[in-house]
Amino acid sequence: MTATRQILPRLALSPGRAEPGARCLPEEVAVALSFNGTTQAVMMASPADLEDFATGFALTEGFARQEEIESLTPVETPRGIDLQIWLRAEAEARLAARRRRMAGPVGCGLCGIDSLEEALRPPPPVAGSVRLGARDCLSAVDGLVDHQPLHDATRAVHAAGFWMPGQGLVAVREDVGRHNALDKLAGALLRQGVATGRGAVVLTSRVSIDMVQKCARLGAPVLIAVSAPTAHAVRMAEDAGLTLVAMARGDRCEVFTHPQRITPDEAAHVA
């Protein structure tokens, strides 16, 4: 499998000084997601946890649930990696309806979308009953810092984690793309059988509408991010019943939607 990082030479410059050396950088490769023999998307991604990526992408993009995936095979080619996913017959109509043609740089979650209606499709309603304290939200973000080996080595990737009361972070995935990191996390949770309605997704990135859509499809009732959301993401989270917590840094966080799941004290339990 392709390496996830490379050490490359660099020249560090400061006033009156030049210092040769090297830096560890994250690798990115073209990853094709092919469903039933047809490529639906080509994403630039970190070449790790690709089975999780394919499983999560199929769910969060509305193509197929985990049980509708018959087989999943990563195939390395000279120009990248082809994730060959074969779906059951009942998923084929859904696949055709949600067809995308994406080929773009990382961070572009809506490249080549067929229509504005598809880009702004409402996510399914979220009904998880988890209850968190404000300190839980901050602890989840703090805990994510200790589970980012690729970021620690390169300072150039995003992370997505899933935090559960009484357990802490049960899964973390990293990628050069924030959408990819979330899809990899979704796939990991599905493949591990984690009850996604009983915890919170934690992100190192900002929150756009596509991140809200993906979390809602995953069934996570709470989304916690270190950066700010867009206004449209807040409106979409409100409509979906998703609790959106952002700007979670230090000893403070901001709750934008459905605050009934978050308490200001230290108490936290699952109803």
Task: Residue 199: give its domain's CATH number.
Answer: 3.40.140.10
More confident residue, 83 or 104: 83
Distances (CA, A) of 130 to 38, 179, 269: 39, 24, 7
Tell whether the model's pLDDT for residue 166 goes beyond 80: yes
Say yes or no: 237 and 150 in one domain. yes
Please tell me whether residues 203 and 245 are part of one structural domain.
yes
Number of domains in the chain: 2
Helices 231-240 and 209-218: crossing angle, nearest 10°? 20
Number of H helices, E strands in the chain: 8, 15
- Which residue range is the domain that position 242 belongs to? 132-263
Both 69 and 175 in a single domain? no
The pTM assigned to this predicted structure is: 0.90
Identify whether residues 177 and 116 lie together within a single domain. Answer: no
pLDDT of the residue at 271: 42
Looking at the domain assignment, is residue 5 inside a domain? Answer: no
Q: Would you call 111 a catalytic residue per the annotation?
A: no
Q: In this model, does residue 267 exceed pLDDT 60? A: no
Whether 81 and 181 share a structural domain = no
Q: Which of 24, 108, 111, 253 is catalytic?
A: 108
42, part of any domain: yes
- Note whether residue 243 is domain-resident: yes
Q: Name residues whose C-beta falls within 8 Å of residue 98's C-beta, 6 or more positions apart in sequence.
A: 61, 62, 63, 118
Give pLDDT tens digits for 169-227.
Answer: 999 999 999 999 999 999 999 999 999 999 999 999 999 999 999 999 999 999 999 99
Structure tokens at 113: 């979308």
